[in-house]
Structure 1
C-alpha cells in the first residue's frame, strides 16, 4: 500500500502535540514528582519541568498541583490522563511493529530473569552469544518483578508462569525445583526439623513481604507464624546471603548457588515450577531477538535437563 492510497479526513493542524511533552506528563503522573520522572526518562529535572509547563501552556490547562515534595493531578490532569495513555500504548505498538520488521543484527537485546536465575544460568549463554554475535549489545535485567514486555521493559523474559497475554508468545524450556535450606551453622546451633509439624522455634526468611511469604510456606504445609518471619528481601541473592549467615530457613531454588547449604525436610518440602522463555509476538521476526531467544532456549533447555542439585 502506498502512502497516497491512505485517505483520512482529518484537520491535521489540530493535532500538533509534542510527544515528548505528553510523555513527560505521563511520567510525572506515574512517578509522582518531577525528580522521579526525570530519572525515569533520563532527563534533567529542569528539562522535564519545562516540557510539562510548555504542554500546560499549549493546552491551556493546569495538569498538576505543585507541592514541595510531590505532584498531584488536577481535575484537568485526571481527565487528560486516559487519552494520554492511549497515545502511550500507540507509541509502544508503533515501536514494536517497527522493531519486529528490523533486519539489522546490530543493537541491544534485553533479557530479564530473577536475580538467582540470572546469576546462575545466564553468564555462559551471554558468553556464547558475545562470541557468536559480537555486534550485539546485551542487557540483563535481574529482577523478581515481572517486566512489562508489551511496553518494552525487556525484549525477552525468563518466567516461571505461562504467559497469558495474547501479545506474548512463550516456549516451555524445562522445569526447576526448589527446597528448604539452612546453613550448616544454623543446623549445628538450632538443629533441623525432622517433620512438618516440628518447625516451631525455628526462624524463617521470606521473599518480598510477610503476607506473601506466609502464603508460600503454608501452601507447602509449613505452618509458619508471623513471629517466625522477621527478615524479608525482594532479592534472591540477598536472601541466599542471609541463609548462609545462619539467619534462618528459606525456600531457595535447587542448584549450584545452594552449594554448601543443608537441605531441610528434603523429602517433604519440594517445589516444582516451569521455566518459560517469553517475548512479544511482534518481536519474534526480529533477527537479533530471534537469535538471542533461540540461543537461550537451546542452552537453558540443556542446563535444566542436567541441572546440579544440592
Structure 2
C-alpha cells in the first residue's frame, strides 16, 4: 500500500508529544491548543495507517511504532535546525550561528573563557552550547561541532586531535587534613572515594592504563562528572579530576605518580569544513583546547591572539 507523505508540521507535533509526554504539555511547548495537538496526532496516525499512542489513565503511551519511528522525526527536526543555521550570517564569514556540543565539565569549567575570547574577536557569531554527557549525533546534525574524548570512526566526520587532557586522583585539602595520605591503591580502601554509578567510565579508564584488575569501592557514586567535581571540591572524598581544573580549585593530588591521559578531539561533519563561521569556531577551539591540554592555560586564560 502506497502512502503519501504527511505534512511536515504533523511530524513536529508527534515529536513534541514524544518529548513532553502528554497532549497538554506538547501544546504548551508548541504554543497552540490541546485540541489542535490531538487533531494533528490523529491526522498523522490516519495518514500513516498506524497507531502511535494508546490512551491510559496516566496519559499517552507511545506504541512500538512510535518508538521505532522517533529517530526519524528527530533527524527531520535536527536537519531543519541545521538548515536554518546554514542560512545565518549573510553579512560575512564571522557571522551566524554555530551549535557546539561537549561534556558538562568541558562546557561549564573549560569553554567559557575560550568562547569569550572567540566572541570578542567575532561579535557577529552566535554560539549555541549544548553541555551534555550524552553523545550528540553529528551525522544527524544535532550539532555542528563536538568536543569528544574518543576518536570518531565515521568517514563523513572530520576529526582533529587537540592532545590528551591529563586527569588524576585529587581531594580537597580539608578532606585530607585529618586522614593519612594514601601511598598506593590499597590505601584508598580507608578513604571515601567519589566515582561513577552505572556508567563504568572510571573502570574503563583504569583498564586503559593497565589497571583492569583494580577494584575500587566508591562510597559516593554519581554518573555526572560535574557533580563528582563538586563533591571533590566540597571535601566529600577523593575523586578523579582534570589536572588543570584541580590546580585552579586548589585540590591536592593523591597518588600523584598516576595520571590518565584523556585523548580529546574536535569533530565536525565534512560538509561544514568550508562553511566560514564553522571553520572559525573549529580552528579557534583546536588552538585553545590544544593549549589547555598541553597545560599552557588553566581554562581561564584565552589563547594568545
User: TM-score if structure 1 supplies the norm length?
Assistant: 0.78
Q: Give matches, 1:206-225, under 5 Å.
A: 206-207=195-196, 209-210=197-198, 212=200, 215-216=203-204, 219=207, 221=211, 222-225=214-217
The separation in 1 between residues aligned to 2:283 and 2:193, in whole angstroms, is 39
Q: Which moved more, 1:176-185 or 1:22-31?
A: 22-31
Aligned twin of 1:306 = 295
Match of 1:126 among 115, 119, 127: 115
2:245 matched to 1:265? no
The separation in 2 between residues aligned to 1:134 and 1:22, in whole angstroms, is 35
Q: Structure 1 stretches of 5 or more lacking a match?
A: 1-10
Match of 1:232 among 215, 222, 246: 222
Match of 1:154 among 115, 123, 143: 143
User: TM-score if structure 2 supplies the norm length?
Assistant: 0.79
Aligned twin of 2:126 = 137
- Report the 3-state secondary structure (helix = DSSP H, G, I; strand = E; otherwise coil) of the residue aligned with 2:42: helix
Aligned twin of 1:178 = 167
Deviations 1:175-212 (A, max 9, x none): 111000111111112222111222212111123x2461
Q: Which moved more, 1:17-26 or 1:89-98?
A: 89-98
Once the two structures are TM-superposed, the CA of residue 217 in structure 1 deviates from its matched residue by 7.0
The separation in 2 between residues aligned to 1:244 and 1:88, in whole angstroms, is 38
Once the two structures are TM-superposed, the CA of residue 216 in structure 1 deviates from its matched residue by 4.4
Aligned twin of 1:52 = 41
Once the two structures are TM-superposed, the CA of residue 44 in structure 1 deviates from its matched residue by 5.1
Q: Which moved more, 1:172-181 or 1:133-142?
A: 133-142
Once the two structures are TM-superposed, the CA of residue 157 in structure 1 deviates from its matched residue by 0.9
Deviations 1:269-296 (A, max 9, x none): 3100111001112222222111111111
- Contact kept, 8 Å, 1:218 with 1:224, in 2: the verdict is no
- Contact kept, 8 Å, 2:170 with 2:246, in 1: the verdict is no
Deviations 1:141-187 (A, max 9, x none): 22222122223322111111101222221111121110001111111
Aligned twin of 1:7 = none
- Contact kept, 8 Å, 2:22 with 2:59, in 1: the verdict is yes
Once the two structures are TM-superposed, the CA of residue 36 in structure 1 deviates from its matched residue by 6.4
The separation in 1 between residues aligned to 2:216 and 2:27, in whole angstroms, is 43
Q: Structure 2 stretches of 5 or more lacking a match?
A: 299-305
- Report the 3-state secondary structure (helix = DSSP H, G, I; strand = E; otherwise coil) of the residue aligned with 1:151: coil
- Report the 3-state secondary structure (helix = DSSP H, G, I; strand = E; otherwise coil) of the residue aligned with 2:237: coil
The separation in 1 between residues aligned to 2:265 and 2:126, in whole angstroms, is 23
- Report the 3-state secondary structure (helix = DSSP H, G, I; strand = E; otherwise coil) of the residue aligned with 1:300: helix
- Report the 3-state secondary structure (helix = DSSP H, G, I; strand = E; otherwise coil) of the residue aligned with 1:297: helix
Number of positions where the alignment pairs a residue of Structure 1 with one of Structure 2: 288
- Report the 3-state secondary structure (helix = DSSP H, G, I; strand = E; otherwise coil) of the residue aligned with 2:190: coil
Structure 2 vs 1, CA of residues 73 and 87 (structure 1 numbering), >3 Å: closer, same or farther?
A: closer
Look at both structures and tell me which one has the larger radius of gyration over its CA atoms.
Answer: 1
The separation in 2 between residues aligned to 1:118 and 1:103, in whole angstroms, is 24
The separation in 2 between residues aligned to 1:91 and 1:101, in whole angstroms, is 16
Once the two structures are TM-superposed, the CA of residue 92 in structure 1 deviates from its matched residue by 5.1
The separation in 2 between residues aligned to 1:275 and 1:214, in whole angstroms, is 16
Match of 1:24 among 13, 18, 39: 13
Aligned twin of 1:277 = 266
The separation in 2 between residues aligned to 1:89 and 1:210, in whole angstroms, is 28
